[in-house]
Amino acid sequence: MLVAILIMQGVFAGFEIIGRTRVSDPAFQTVISAAFVVYVVLLAVFAFGAWRRMSWAWMVAIAVTLFGLALSGLRILAGEQIEQLLLGIAIDGALLYYLAKPSVRALFKA
């Protein structure tokens, strides 16, 4: 379930960046695009680790959600309105809360 939510978050972020990011500075757009590629790679690494119940997958899930929040922050600095990013920020915040629960963390201690 957690893997599906994170993958959906990645797809959502992809559509957001491709469809709505309007950055006047091409260099900053390159930074945002590169950060999104790293975000997608982290999602793939997490999915692999979660399906195999690897102990490191929990830390990757934390990294993915924090990276998603950082990516939203970059997009705000690029001039996007925060209202357009609230759904993604809320999902990342909820995922961090969920991942911090001892019962969830225990799932990844193999």
Q: Are 47 and 1 in contact (CB under 8 A)?
A: no
- Distance separating alpha carbons of residues 56 and 54, to the nearest angstrom: 6
The pLDDT mean for the chain works out to 80
Torsion, Cα of 84, 89, 95, 100 (10° steps): -170
Average pLDDT (3-25) is 63
**Cβ contacts of 95 within 8 Å, gap of 6 or more:** 2, 5, 6, 9, 61, 65
Of residues 110 and 15, more confidence is placed in 15
pLDDT at 19 over 70: no
CA distance 25 to 95: 31
Across 40-67, average pLDDT: 88
| pLDDT at position 30 | 75
Local confidence band at 60 (pLDDT 50, 70, 90 cut-offs): very high
Domain map (residue ranges) of the chain: 2-107
